[in-house]
Amino acid sequence: MSALQQLPEDLRTVITLLVERGMSYSAAATALGVGESAVRERAQVALVMLAPAQARELGGEEREQIGDYMLGQQQDSEQAATRQAIESSAPASAWAHALSKALAGEPIPEGSQTPQTREAGRSAAQRPPATRPARAPRRNLFALMLVSAVAIVAIVLAVVLGKGSSTQSAQRTQPKIVGHAIMASPSGARSAGLFEVLKGGSKLAYYVAAVGLQPTNGFYYALWLADGPGGHARALNRAPNVGSNGRIVGGALLPANATSYHEVLLTRETASATIPSTPGETVLKGRIQYAR
């Protein structure tokens, strides 16, 4: 299975629009019905998930710069600067090469950086993927492939609100994304995730997708809302067991006061209680950015 196929569906949809359809962040945002910043952040999360071993060797700003370049989202002057950065940095070259393979649907090795890998990365950098012909949004062609977080959580909302489990009923709910967070490992591990807050009518729900997690064996994962370091934390749910694919994807209702919390945690728990009183070891965390 290719790295692209292992992405959560909503992130794979964003990458498909940007890479296969040659859309800009702005055009993809219009097609998906979300903000441009949300599209960019989802795309950046997807790239980290595609090649996490190489991504963790880079700082956040450099990683985002190369990510924009690989997705064809930079102007000519920006492309030249990014190519120079890739050619002058072994970690940047390795990540560019890894992303080139991943975006082409090939599996990505996680081995150490070698002279051959760095040279291949330079070759990829010299063939900028940004030189695609511009394409206008064609929503009628994308209607069947827009499996975004909104669509997924619409189904969740329809089921948990008792409005039926059919896709048609779910689509009528039309939840809106009102908050999102990119979740990263505080220890620098390869895992990463996306958390989104959805609103449908007067109800709130969440969607979470995470990859690179250790399979559950003698422990489980739990999801929390928190006020920040040292603040109050509220348990949401015990996450489903994680298998050999290292993934969690799902969603459920949120408490009415969920937007008063500004941080989301995924923790490792060993206590027998279904809902522990305090968070265990933090595996992933992210700051929730709410729409204004």
Tell me the pTM.
0.53
C-alpha 119: how far from chain center: 29
Tens digit of pLDDT at every position of the chain (292 positions):
566 777 788 888 898 889 888 889 998 888 888 888 889 988 988 888 888 878 878 887 888 899 999 888 988 888 888 888 888 888 888 888 888 878 876 554 443 333 433 443 444 444 444 333 333 222 222 222 223 344 444 545 555 544 444 444 444 445 677 888 878 888 877 788 878 888 877 888 888 888 788 999 999 999 999 986 667 899 998 888 888 878 887 788 899 899 999 999 999 998 776 777 889 999 998 888 887 6
- Taken in order of first residue, the domains within the chain and their CATH numbers are 4-125 (no CATH), 148-290 (2.60.40.200)
Residue type, 87: E
**What is the full DSSP assignment across 49-117?**
HHSHHHHTTS-HHHHHHHHHHHTT-S-HHHHHHHHHHHHT-HHHHHHHHHHHHHHTT---------HHH
Q: Mention every residue, 6+ apart, whose C-beta is less than 8 A from residue 9.
A: 147, 152, 249
What is the DSSP code (8-state) at residue 165? S
3-state secondary structure of 198: strand
